[in-house]
Each structure stands twice: as C-alpha cells, then as structure tokens.
Amino acid sequence: MQNVIQYKYFLFCLLLVIIMAGCTKKEDNCISVLPCPVVAVTGTHTGQVNQPLNLNVSYITGNGCWQSSELKETISGNERFIEVNATYKGCMCTLLAATMQVTYTFTASQPGTYYLNFWETEDSFLRDTVYIQ
C-alpha cells in the first residue's frame, strides 16, 4: 500500500512538472521580415561601365513596427530582380504605413541595356531600364 501511495505521488509530481513546463511563457520577440511594394524609382538611368549608378527606391512599409530594410537582388543576364525586405519588430503595431526610401546601387561590367524589376506584388514588378555605355 505504501508503494502505491509513493507511485501515485510520483505520478502527481511528474504531471505537475509537465504542466508547469508547458505553461511557462516563451519570449516572443515578434520579429518578421517581409517584402515591401516599390512605388517609385528615381535617379540617373544612363552610365558608364564599372561606374556605380545610385537610384532612389521608394517603397511602402506594412505598419508602424518598421525597423530597417535591405535589398535582395537576383541577376539573370541583363535583368535584375530587386526586392526590398523590411524588418518589423513588435507585437503591437500601428496600422500606419509609411513611404520610405533606400538607395539601390547598380554597377555593370559590360555595356548594354539592363532591365531592373522592382518587386510590387507576388506577380508584378515595377520595371525600369538602365543604359550603360
């Protein structure tokens, strides 16, 4: 009988430990990285080989928790696919979207016509053309 009580006490303590471990609050930093739609690209669109061109890229943030942004570029021949990825930090964010700017630096090692495709939505891009002599 003593062994049964000890066994039940052990199971009760084990169950209590499992329940308490499951209820501990895990810290959630609420950090996310999402693409932002580009709305405008301004700057010089003609240049020379191996000379950088700086283009101002305007994009819309998703909410008030915006912290920073970075550009992700994929190259395919004379086409560039550019995505602005914004980092958001915060669990409770205002729904106020803002237009921000980032500089995209384009450098070509060969003369020609280059097509810059800036991400707008999952299936559309803002297409811009750069001429390099």
Interval 49-74: pLDDT, tens: 999 999 999 999 989 999 999 999 99
Provide the pLDDT confidence category of residue 96 given band limits of 50, 70 and 90. confident
Nearest-CA neighbor of 62 among 103, 99, 102, 104?
Answer: 99
> In sequence order, what are the beta bridge partners of 106?
53
Of residues 51 and 7, more confidence is placed in 51
* SS3 at position 18: helix
Dist. CA 26–CA 51, nearest whole Å: 50
Interval 104-115: pLDDT, tens: 999 999 999 999
Provide the pLDDT confidence category of residue 14 given band limits of 50, 70 and 90. very low
